[in-house]
Structure 1
Amino acid sequence: MSSIAISSILVVLSIVAIIYLTAKLKANVFGALFAVSLALALLGTSLPLPKVIDALKTGFGNTLGSISFVIIFGAAIAVCMQKSGGALSIATHILNLAGRHNARPAMAWTGFIPGLTIFCDTGYIILSGIARSISASSKVPMPLIASILGTSLYAVHCLVPTHPGALAAATALNANLGMLVLAGVLFAIPGLLAAYFWANWMCKGKDYAPAVADESELQSTADLPSFGFSLLPVVLPLLLISISTLLTTLGYKDGLATAFHFLGNPVIALLAGMLCGMWLLACNGGKKGDFSAVLEDAIVKAGPTLIITGAGGMFGAIIKETGVGAALGDALGSASVGLLVPFIIALLLKTAQGSSTVAALTSAAIIAPSLATFGLDSETGRIFAVLAIGAGSIVASHANDSYFWVVTKFSQIEMEESLRVFTTSTIVMGLVSFACIWAASVFML
């Protein structure tokens, strides 16, 4: 048996080991990734023994160097939006504007806009009281409201690189973050629409009950910041990134455009969003000490994500050393499967072990050496590869995914209802998002 065949078997076994350790034995994700990466480096690569630890450290450190600021500043924006009431202000304004009779589409936008910068689980916890109130007052079944809000937050979480999975995949594949932010938002919309209509269809004719109003769950909206100010921490980073991307597309790189490119760097753009969030907090009764508390909370929230993402980068670096990724490309390149490979790899990993972040970064590590073989070794190709991975990491949120339980428990619905409506909606959303990504790639690659 050839060395590459042995390495391929070891890579497959290492992926199975990570899934088994995290999904079945509930082992710490970092511990599982480190142990498996070390074992794979020793058994599946030709690295000299003294170089093994260096390879682990390099993979871990390079990944953190690429994503740490973005994740920390993004987490700080989320904390500011929560503490200032900005997220609630956005949700309340959208719902009041749409009216109770349009509660369903209003809930979709309520999750989609704050979800651009707020992690899906945090966003759902913040907005769950409003979701239950809307369900009770509009008599819309709670499983339907929960699915609409849950998928609207989840779509951008998996596709837009203000979130760790898409960001880690973009880093591994060296994709243009500015273009990817805009493309991720664009392709999240058809997926969300598909999930919206699917959830409505799944609840049609069912006797699912609306939520029971509980005023203790709701915060007072009298002192919330204005809608315009609340949008600023979310919209400003996207605006700065969009301007920089547009100037690049038009070929402007020098002179005044240099300043816009600096401001449009995702690190600076999210820093600006964080400063706006702190200003929002200050204008809404925040005190001087609150600003230090925001950064402390952000670091606490971002810490586990950073460690796991860094460990995923470490695992990816070791996979690259095995040469299996390049061999995979050579074996499948002639099949013209293109974007289907990263999508299926991410889908299988997500469904098996539950974490969209782990699925995305592991898929990126596997596919990175094969980009040229699949015709994706270009700026546009790398963006589409990351989007395909993001779509795969949507499918499917079920009982091994912590977000599934956030949606289920904070909505106070039964597990069977959540599986039937929310989980199937994530499957449809991932498949439709990928179909749109693949269709667009036919004209752009």
Structure 2
Amino acid sequence: MWLIILLFISVAFIIYTTARLKWHPFFSLLATAFGYGSLSGTMSLQEVVKSVNTGFGNTAGVIGIVILAGSIIGKFLEKTGGAFTLADGTLKITGKKNVPLALSFIGYILSIPVFCDSGFIIMAPLAKALTKQAGISFAIGATALSLGLIVTHSIIPPTPGPVGAAGILNADLGMVILLGLPVSIIGMLAGWLFAIRIASKVNIDPISGEPAAEMNPQRIPPLFKAVLPVFVPLVLIILRSIGELSQSPFGSGTISSLIGFTGQPVVALLIGVLLSFLLPRKLTRNMISTSGWMGEAIAGAATIIIITGCGGAFGQVLQNSGIGEVIKNNLSEVRNLGILLPVIIAAALKTAQGSGTVAIITGASLMAPLLGSLGMDSDSGRALVAVALGAGGMIASHANDSYFWVVTQFSGMSVNQGYRLQTLGTLTVGICASLAVIVISIFIL
């Protein structure tokens, strides 16, 4: 039972040091990994160091380039106005009369390559213009947009949380996308319904909130260019996962080999990077320099990669300590939670310390050694656990979350309105997505 007690102490330590003492998650996770391993009584100090090195290296090696590439694609979409192009294309599908649904869908699509914080800032002017034109409260538009953004940010790769969880859990990225799509769509629809049912009762003038820069419509790229770097990598990754099914739908020849190669997440995302170079009117050397757009993207991604690597280190220490067997033999109640366990873990971590990415990555570290005892060590089980962590990682955005303040400041919400709309909204979306995960688990686990 000592390992279980030590695990609870370790989780409390992570929450306290990151939320209260404001330690960097890198230091908190690494200190926890060494502390847990040293006090476990089942590992020598040399084994602890080896586990940390192995866990960090394996995880960063799997997800590092993927996160870097995804960050570069998002930065080019942001800087060139490609995000506006995607939004305009979405509006043509949904129609301007369905403003809340359009904004939910815009957020859903945009947050695949762009972080939700940046996405809300970029789209705030468009959301204000649309809600003003429709004659509705900006509370509806802002809530629909913010909840649409957080769904794909939390569940669909190549955003850092889902990619990091997949790396730590050794889950197939294509399978995570395939299982995450229906879950995230249900989450998006829940956010849209919340916006039109609950947010409609709150009045916010569209001219309120912080100003955000608008793009020159003459300089933004056309829709087909904006779509390519986002969807081509996703399609390639999904095709590879389909090709690996037992039926071998693409055979075993050249086509199968080509799909298997281009569908590797690293290759697919690098293809996406090359396609993002088509977005500017003229690609300059400065854009891909250390101080240009690429440099900014890499600098932003580095922190996420380091945090994810430390999450992998902690997970490896947990696994090597033998805690999976201890829980299997002593805590049947935990095993009975099934797919709810990753949801609960991620939700507790998210609510306590604010960052959804840290919650998902830390939750994956805690879940990795338990997969066997929970009966989730199959390919589909690992992928569904990653999706479940994403669903739980949305619960709930409040004052300790930077995204909460981005939404409230750029929409003109008061703090009380933020709790009523953003906090309750993310709680609703997270619960609905989690219910979708439970339903899927009935059929595949």
TM-score (norm 1): 0.93
Counterpart check, 1:238 vs 2:237: no
Letter in 1 for 2:214: L
Indicate the residue corresponding to 1:17 in structure 2. Answer: 13
The equivalences for 1:197-236 within 5 A come to: 197-212=193-208, 217-236=213-232
Q: In the TM superposition, what is the alpha-carbon distance from 1:98 to its structure 2 partner?
A: 4.0
C-alpha deviation, 1:99, in angstroms: 4.2
The worse-fitting range, judged by mean Cα deviation, of 415-424 and 42-51 is: 42-51
- Quote the Cα distance in structure 2 between the aligned partners of 1:385 and 1:215: 39
Quick check: 2:364–2:386 contact (8 Å CA) kept in 1? yes
1:313 corresponds to: 312
Which amino acid letter does the alignment assign opposite residue 93 of structure 1?
Answer: G
Query: What corresponds to 1:110 in structure 2?
Result: 106
Does 2:354 match 1:354? yes
Match in the other structure for 2:337 = 337
> Which aligned pairs between 1:37-436 and structure 2 lie closer than 5 A?
37-95=33-91, 98-212=94-208, 217-249=213-245, 250-251=247-248, 252=250, 254-256=252-254, 257-281=256-280, 284-292=281-289, 293-333=292-332, 336-436=336-436
The separation in 2 between residues aligned to 1:427 and 1:214, in whole angstroms, is: 25
Instruction: Specify whether residues 239 and 195 from structure 1 end up closer, same or farther in structure 2 by C-alpha distance, changes over 3 A only.
Output: same
Q: 2:316 is aligned with what amino acid?
A: A
Q: Judging changes above 3 Å, is the alpha-carbon distance between structure 1 residues 238 and 348 closer, same or farther for their aligned structure 2 residues?
A: same
Q: Kindly tell me: are residues 54 and 374 of structure 1, through their superposed partners in 2, closer, same or farther at Cα, counting changes over 3 Å?
A: closer
Shift of 1:26: 1.4
Q: Is the alpha carbon distance of 1:141 and 1:328 closer, same or farther for their aligned partners in structure 2, counting shifts above 3 Å?
A: farther
- Select between 68-77 and 188-197 the one with higher mean Cα deviation: 188-197
Secondary structure of 2:383's partner?
helix
The 2-side partners of 1:414 and 1:127 are apart by 20
Gaps of 5+ in 1: none
Q: Deviations over 1:23-77 (max 9, x none)?
A: 1121222122222222222212432233433322222111111100100000000
C-alpha spacing 1:221/1:97, structure 2 compared with 1 (3 Å) = farther
Distance 2:111 2:202 in 1: 29
**Higher mean C-alpha displacement, 327-336 vs 425-434:** 327-336
CA deviation string 1:80-129 (max 9, x = no partner): 11122111111133335544322111111211112112221222222222
Instruction: Look up the equivalent residue of 1:362 and give its one-letter code.
Output: T
What letter corresponds to residue 441 of structure 1 in structure 2? S
1:269 shift after superposition: 0.8
What amino acid maps onto 1:288 in structure 2? R
Distance 1:301-1:321 versus aligned 2 partners, 3 A rule: same
Between Structure 1 and Structure 2, the one with more helix by share is 1
Give the match's secondary structure for 2:98. helix
Gaps of 5+ in 2: none
Give the superposition deviation at 1:214: 9.2
- Once the two structures are superposed, residues 262-289 of structure 1 have per-residue CA deviations (whole angstroms, 9 ceiling, x without a partner) of 00111111111111101222xx243232
8 Å contact from structure 1 (residues 133, 214) kept in 2: no
Letter paired with 1:260 = I
Q: 1:216 to 1:409 in 2, by over 3 A?
A: closer
Provide the C-alpha distance between the structure 2 equivalents of 1:110 and 1:60, rounded to a whole number of angstroms: 35
1:442 aligns with 2:429: no
**Aligned-partner Cα distance in 2 for 1:145–1:370:** 41
Indicate the percent of aligned positions where both proteins have the same amino acid: 35
Q: Quick check: 1:72–1:302 contact (8 Å CA) kept in 2? A: yes
Tell me how far apart the structure 2 counterparts of residues 248 and 23 of structure 1 sit (CA, whole Å). 42
Equivalent residue letter for 2:338: G
CA distance in 2, matches of 1:214, 1:436: 36
Question: RMSD of the TM alignment (CA)?
Answer: 2.0
Q: Which moved more, 1:241-250 or 1:304-313?
A: 241-250
Q: Distance in 2 between matches of 1:51 and 1:244?
A: 36
Q: 1:53 to 1:213 in 2, by over 3 A?
A: closer
Equivalent pair of 1:133/1:213 in contact (CA under 8 Å): no
What secondary structure is seen at the aligned counterpart in 2 of 1:101? Answer: coil
The code of the aligned residue for 1:91 comes to A
Partner amino acid for 1:195? Answer: G
Q: Match of 1:191, as an amino acid?
A: G
CA distance in 2, matches of 1:141, 1:197: 15
1:57 corresponds to which letter in structure 2?
N
- Aligned residue for 2:63, secondary structure, equals helix
- With 366-375 and 107-116 compared, the bigger mean Cα shift is at 366-375
Aligned-partner residue type, residue 321 of structure 1: N
Give the TM-score, by structure 2 length.
Answer: 0.93
Using the TM superposition, give the Cα deviation of residue 20 of structure 1 relative to its aligned residue in structure 2, in angstroms.
0.8
The structure-2 alpha-carbon separation of the partners of 1:207 and 1:289, relative to structure 1 and needing over 3 Å to count, comes to: closer
Which deviates more, 13-22 or 365-374? 365-374
Give, in angstroms, the shift of residue 209 of structure 1.
Answer: 3.1
1:435 CA displacement: 0.8
Cα pair distance change 1:216/1:53, threshold 3 Å: closer
Contact 1:90 1:114 in 2 (8 A): yes
CA contact (8 A) 1:124 1:407 kept: yes
The separation in 1 between residues aligned to 2:10 and 2:175, in whole angstroms, is 33
